[in-house]
Amino acid sequence: MNTYEIKTIDEILEAFPFNGKFTGMHRIESGHINSTFVLEFTTADGAFKEYLLQKINTYVFKNPDQLMENIVGVTEHLRKKVAENGGDPNRESLHVYFAKNGAPYFVDSDNNCWRCINYIYDSYSLQNVESANDFYNAAKAFGKFQNLLADYPIDTLHETIPNFHNTESRIADFKKAVKDDLAGRVNTAEKETAFILEREADCSVLVNLIKEGKLPVKVTHNDTKLNNVMFDKNTNEGICVVDLDTVMPGLSLYDFGDSIRFGANTASEDEKDLSKVSLSLEYFEAYTKGFLQCAGNSLCEEEIKQLPFSAKLMTLECGMRFLGDYFNGNLYFRVEYEEHNLIRARTQLALVADMEKKFDLMQEIVEKCRKELGM
Ligand code: GN1
Ligand code: MG
């Protein structure tokens, strides 16, 4: 058994009301922020039972009380909605298991914060899109997720990471990272830095549209990576959206754009061979179709118009976040090697460049999908 960062698994086993005898655990490697483990148990009647255990990254999420208050509120809302619609809340929504002391997370003797969540049985996640249909199914899942939260009381949500997709504030952070040059590396990525700074004006577009009242702020997921959807093993439909840490007031466009950034890239987020990086128009179309089909009726004209731009902006934002973190000495994103964030930044910027070339085609695809859907 590899317990990784868990020095005192016994403390955790004691803290939560697990059902059965602990038989083992393994780590789930995906996700750049929290550490995730699957804990395995055998129940009294001999059944196999699993739970997800996560160590909350408190460097990133400074206020775990507020974070968990959001997640508990959102998951309870989702469970109610799923049940009302005749679905299975245990498969179609997450559920937070409270610690025995009544708190939604447990603080161990080293001051680490742990939370426990239901494991979605007979499901799988994808690290890369394997077919247009996968991505279409992911779009439907995120679109549906947005609909289920449309009547969630937005004012009750805490901003778990302030200005998360505020691209003006993101570029200000990036410039600060360049100026501070904490790890003494800025001179190794001058071309990439210039590429970002040349696009500074882009960072104000959506922010200004919000200020002008042209884009509505809604409850959004804000981290719509493909691997944040669980797919059903039998039907391959997206059944459950996970990783709810950044469910906050945001724009539908952030969710659309971030999905495209990750899933419509023909290469992985950390591909070293940039010739493999490009925007798949086939995948862009599949996602646009699924998203418009499910969430389209709640989108206004300006939101639909900005869909292609949002994909570019979210990719640029992620590029500057990775590069800024590289300059800061890899404080935020988990890395497997020292240049990992630089490599990730390069793929994002190469994808931005390709999206700029294909921008007219992306717009045509949005129009085509609208026509097909009679919107
Ligand atoms: C992080 O946790 P994970 O791996 O789903 C990050 C996202 C980035 C993404 C880039 C809280 O997501 O914003 O887009 O990495 N999450 C947070 O892959 O910063
Ligand atoms: Mg996450």
- Same domain? For 170 and 196 the reply is yes
The answer on 174 and 39 residing in a single domain is no
| Lookup result for tokens 């950034």 | 261
User: Do 207 and 355 belong to one domain?
Assistant: yes
Residues 295, 220 within the same domain: yes
Looking at residue 296, its pLDDT comes to 82
Distance 374 CA to ligand 2 centre (A): 35
Q: Pick the residue whose CA is nearest to atom 3 on ligand 1.
A: 31
What are the pLDDT digits (tens) for 5-35? Answer: 566 788 999 999 999 999 999 999 889 999 9
Residues less than 5 Å from ion ligand 2, measured at CB: 33, 223, 243
Q: Report whether pLDDT(319) > 90.
A: yes
Closest ligand 1 atom, residue 269 Cα: 18
- Quote the pLDDT of residue 1: 41
Average pLDDT of span 53-79: 97
The pLDDT of residue 315 is 99
Q: Are residues 77 and 206 in the same domain?
A: no
Does 75 fall in a domain? yes
- Supply angle C-alpha 208, 213, 219, rounded to 5: 95
Q: Rounded to the nearest whole angstrom, what is the distance from the C-alpha of residue 364 to the centroid of ligand 2? A: 32
Instruction: Give residue 128 CA to ligand 2 midpoint distance, Å.
Output: 16
Residues 250 and 304 occupy one common structural domain: yes
Residue ranges making up the domain that contains 336: 132-372
Write out the two tokens for 252: 């539908």
Does the beta carbon of 33 sit less than 6 angstroms from any atom of ligand 1?
A: yes
Return the pLDDT at 6: 60
Residues 99 and 178 in one domain: no
Residues 284-314 pLDDT 10s: 999 999 999 999 889 999 999 999 999 999 9
Whether 206 lines ligand 1, by a CB cut-off of 6 Å, is: no
Last-in-domain residue among 121, 148, 165: 121
Residue 314 lies in a domain: yes
If you average pLDDT over residues 131-153, what whole number do you get? 96
The last residue of one of the domains, among 89, 121, 153, is 121
**CATH number of the domain enclosing 186:** 3.90.1200.10
Question: Residue with the nearest Cα to atom 1 of ligand 1?
Answer: 32
User: What is the torsional sign of CA 86, 90, 95, 100?
Assistant: positive
End residue of a domain, out of 121, 155, 178? 121
Number of structural domains in the chain: 2
Q: Are residues 150 and 73 in the same domain?
A: no
Q: What is the share, in percent, of the chain residues with pLDDT greater than 70?
A: 98
Ligand nearest to the CA of 246: 1
| C-alpha closest to that of 134 among 309, 318, 262 | 262
Residues 256 and 316 in one domain: yes
Whether 225 and 319 share a structural domain: yes
Cβ-Cβ contacts under 8 Å for 283 (sequence gap 6 or more): 129, 132, 135, 260, 263, 264
Instruction: Give residue 197's pLDDT.
Output: 98
Question: Which CATH number does the domain housing residue 37 bear?
Answer: 3.30.200.20
Residue 7: predicted pLDDT: 65
CB under 8 Å to 111, separation ≥6 — which residues?
A: none
Q: Which residue has the tokens 């739970």?
A: 51
Strand partners, 40: 24, 50
In the predicted structure, residue 196 carries a pLDDT above the cut 90: yes
42: pLDDT strictly greater than 50: yes
Examine the pLDDT at 211 and tell me if it is beyond 80. Answer: yes
For residue 340 and ligand 1, the question of a CB distance below 6 A is answered with no
Quick one: which of 240, 233, 290, 237 has its CA closest to 260? Answer: 290
Residue 127 in any domain: the answer is no
Please check whether residues 148 and 297 belong to one and the same domain. Answer: yes
Q: How confident is the model at residue 103 (pLDDT cuts 50, 70, 90)?
A: very high
- 321 alpha carbon to ligand 2 midpoint, in Å? 14
Residue 201: strand, helix, or coil: helix
Does some domain include residue 186?
yes
Residue whose CA lies nearest to ligand 1 atom number 7: 223
On whether residue 126 sits in a domain, the answer given is no
User: Across residues 32-60, what is the average pLDDT?
Assistant: 96
- Tell whether 88 is covered by a domain: yes
pLDDT band of residue 90 (cuts 50, 70, 90) is very high
Given the CA of residue 34, which atom of ligand 1 is nearest to it? 2
Cα(375)–Cα(367) distance, rounded to whole angstroms? 9
Q: Is residue 254 part of a domain?
A: yes
Percent of the chain whose predicted confidence (pLDDT) is above 90: 95
Burial of 212 (0-12, 13-18, 19+ CB in 10 A): exposed
Pick 375 or 187 by higher pLDDT.
187
- The confidence score (pLDDT) of residue 5 equals 55
Site to probe by mutation for ligand 1, drawn from 30, 32, 332 as the one with most ligand atoms within 8 Å of Cβ, is 32
Same domain assignment for residues 51 and 141: no
| Average pLDDT of the residues of the chain | 96
Q: What is the pLDDT of residue 200?
A: 98
Q: CB of 243 closer than 6 A to ligand 1?
A: yes
Residue nearest to atom 5 of ligand 1 (CA): 31
In a domain, 162, yes or no: yes
26 beta partners: 38
Q: What is the mean pLDDT of residues 114-123?
A: 96
Instruction: Give the residue from 357, 255, 364, 352 showing the smallest Cα distance to 303.
Output: 255
**Which residues lie closer than 8 Å to 319 by C-beta, 6 or more apart?**
192, 196, 345, 348, 349, 352
